[in-house]
Amino acid sequence: MSDKEMTEKTLLDEIVNCPHAQQCLGDSAAENLCRTIVEYQNTLSLQKFQVPEPWSGEIEKAPILFLSSNPSIGGDEAYPTWDWSSKEVHDYFNYRFEGGHKTWILDGTKSLQTDGTYSRVTQFWAAVRKRAIELLQRDVIPGFDYALTEIVHCKSHHEIGVEQAQEQCVQAYSMRILELAKARVIVVLGAPARKVIQREFEIPPEKLLSELIEIGGNQRLFTFLPHPNARANRSFAKCLQNDELERLRAFLRHNQ
């Protein structure tokens, strides 16, 4: 295994087995900023804890990375728990959209359920696919042409617990994920993720497209869109200036 593969494996394992999540579940008296989001799963009567989600897709290859607040949770989804093997967990998160030992996600939008069927279309996944098509101006392969990650890795509904957990989670993992990722364009979705990235990289709040920023030895562009669920214009064409959209597209073409 190469040093690069070792770095990816180590970081993925660290996030999946996050010590903050384990402390919240193992010590009810411990003070931890992640407690609200970790214990949210208790309200869903799940059989087992669904592990923190490091990323979805081939993050070390994908030219586009979508960054949002935290993953949503589905109780019937075939999703890793702490009793899965490390090999299964790596297969799931790196090849969730394509190329895995199971078809974890169908057509980039429907998740495999515990009973072997597939869910209805997940609107968030459908929306990011459209945005990737808009940038690359061709059909795309989910997980290969783009990957997804979040500023907070534990799952909940309606961003419950994100505000409390984000400082701790960002400090522990976000920069390391961005250094590992090879995306030239990082699309930041929604206000919580936008505020974190603007603060971390000193990007003025009125800017929807950053200057070039070097992370992990690679030049990146950050761009900002509303969350796909927002009641607002959500496409690049409607949110960016024409020259800004063309700059993103040209930057991606240069990568090919």
Summarised one tens digit per residue, pLDDT across range 95-110 is 999 999 999 999 999 9
Which range marks the domain in which residue 176 is found? 3-253
Q: Do residues 70 and 153 touch, judged by C-beta distance below 8 A?
A: yes
Residues of the chain above pLDDT 70, percent: 97
What's the CATH number where 11 sits? 3.40.470
Question: Per the structure, how many domains does the chain have?
Answer: 1
The whole-number average pLDDT for the span 85-96 is: 96
Q: What span, in angstroms and rounded, lies between the C-alpha atoms of 208 and 233?
A: 13
The whole-number pLDDT of residue 165 equals: 98
Report CA Rg, the chain: 18
The whole-number pLDDT of residue 214 equals: 98
- Mean pLDDT over each residue of the chain, to the nearest integer: 94
The whole-number pLDDT of residue 206 equals: 95
Residue 18 has pLDDT above 60, yes or no: yes
The whole-number pLDDT of residue 47 equals: 80
Q: pLDDT tens digits, residue range 189-241?
A: 999 999 999 999 999 999 999 999 999 999 999 999 999 988 888 899 999 99
Weakest mean pLDDT among 21-30, 40-49, 70-79, 120-129: 40-49
H/E segment holding residue 146? strand 146-150
H/E segment holding residue 66? strand 64-68
The whole-number pLDDT of residue 232 equals: 80
The whole-number pLDDT of residue 6 equals: 63
Residue 174 backbone phi and psi in degrees, to 5? -60, -50
The whole-number pLDDT of residue 1 equals: 56
The whole-number pLDDT of residue 246 equals: 97
Give every CB contact of residue 27 below 8 A, 6+ residues apart in sequence: none
The whole-number pLDDT of residue 95 equals: 97
Q: Of 134, 155, 188, give the one whose Cα is nearest residue 43.
A: 155
The whole-number pLDDT of residue 75 equals: 78
Q: pLDDT tens digits, residue range 163-176?
A: 999 999 999 999 99
Band (pLDDT 50/70/90 cuts) for residue 144 is: very high
